[in-house]
A and B are shown apart, each in its own frame.
Chain A
Amino acid sequence: MNGIHDLGGMEGFGPIVREENEPVFHAEWEGRIMGMTLATLAQGFYNIDEIRQETERMDPVEYLTSDYYTHWLHTAEELMIQKGIITRAELEAKRAELAQAEASQS
């Protein structure tokens, strides 16, 4: 699809921002989603081309304003729902449960 991911040749995104001594992951969750995606890919939940296609289907504004591993998260959630591995309702219920647990701890 002629999506926002097809960036080659565009201009106007500003300077290339580099980070000295950049860590492999900037937050714990980045490594978790990366590891989860690779493990489930190896388990045959989906193939690499389905993964790339799903990332390309992200809302273009969200694509540009979110981080690389947020793209991975979006893609894993959507593909697992599409494939019937989980349901959106289950995912939302689990999020609410975890949010409540976090709130009661603090």
Chain B
Amino acid sequence: MTDLVRAEMIEPILTTGASARIDADVAPQFAVGDAVIARNLNPHTHTRLPRYVRGKRGTVERDHGVFLFPDTHAVGQGGKPQHVYSVRFEASELWGPDGTQGDALFIDMWDDYLEPA
């Protein structure tokens, strides 16, 4: 625990923030353009992998860099730094014939959420 946060410290805290980005030399598991599948994970604890993308196939569009991993960070198992990617899923992949052809959903996926397609 750190010292008491005083009123005069609030503005600097709010305007600086606290990035979850980690300056760590971690190799990416995927590259932009890779076809990937969101893993079918169902932990009892915290995850930022929503049900609607699990098992679906998408494409890595951008590598955001290395970030803390919430699934371990939430349960006292450390930050497990890894790459986070913007992954594009076609609406038709997520919703079948009820998705509009050509529309897409973009979501941020940690390395541990993905496997090669």
- A interface residues with partner B (beta carbon < 8 Å): 1-2, 6, 8-9, 38-39, 42-45, 47-50, 52-53, 56
Residue of B nearest to A1 (CB): B44
Residues in A neighbouring B68, C-beta threshold 8 A: 49
- A43:B46 contact, CB within 8 angstroms: no
Chain B residues with Cβ under 8 A from A48's Cβ?
20
Q: Which of B2-10, B28-36, B57-65, B109-117 contacts A (4 or more CB under 8 A)?
A: B2-10
Q: Is the CB of B70 within 8 A of A52?
A: yes
Task: Please provide the chain B residues from 4 to 38 with a CB less than 8 Å away from any CB of chain A in the complex.
Answer: 4-5, 9-10, 13-14, 18, 20
Q: Given A53-B45, A53-B46 in contact, is the A42-B51 Cβ separation under 8 Å?
A: no
Q: Which 3 A-B pairs have the closest CB atoms?
A: A49-B74, A53-B46, A9-B52
Q: Do most interface residues of chain B lie in helix, strand or loop, or is the interface mixed?
A: loop
The size bracket of the interface on B is 20 to 34
What residues make up the interface of B, taking CB atoms closer than 8 Å to A? Answer: 1-5, 9-10, 13-14, 18, 20, 42-47, 50-52, 68, 70, 73-75, 94-95
Q: How far is the CA of A39 from the CA of B1 in the complex (A)?
A: 12
Q: How many A-B residue pairs have CB under 8 A?
A: 52
Taking a contact as CB atoms closer than 8 A, the residue among B1, B70, B94 that contacts A44 in the complex is B1
Given the contacts A49-B74, A52-B70, A52-B74, A43 and B5 also touching, CB distance less than 8 Å: yes
Q: Report whether B51 and A6 are in contact in the complex, using a CB–CB cutoff of 8 Å.
A: yes
**Quick one: which of B9, B51, B73 contacts A2, CB cutoff 8 A?**
B51
Asked whether A56 and B51 contact (CB < 8 A) given A47-B73, A49-B70, A50-B74, the answer is: no
User: Closest chain B residue to A50 by CB distance?
Assistant: B74
Q: List 8 A-B contacts (CB under 8 A).
A: A9-B95, A42-B2, A43-B2, A44-B1, A47-B74, A49-B68, A52-B70, A56-B46
Q: Which of B14, B43, B50 contacts A8 (CB 8 A)?
A: B50
Chain A residues with Cβ under 8 A from B74's Cβ? 47, 49-50, 52-53
Taking CB atoms, residues of chain A closer than 8 Å to B1 are: 43-45
Contact A6 B43 (CB under 8 A): no
Given A8-B52, A9-B51, A49-B70, CB of A39 within 8 Å of CB of B46 = no
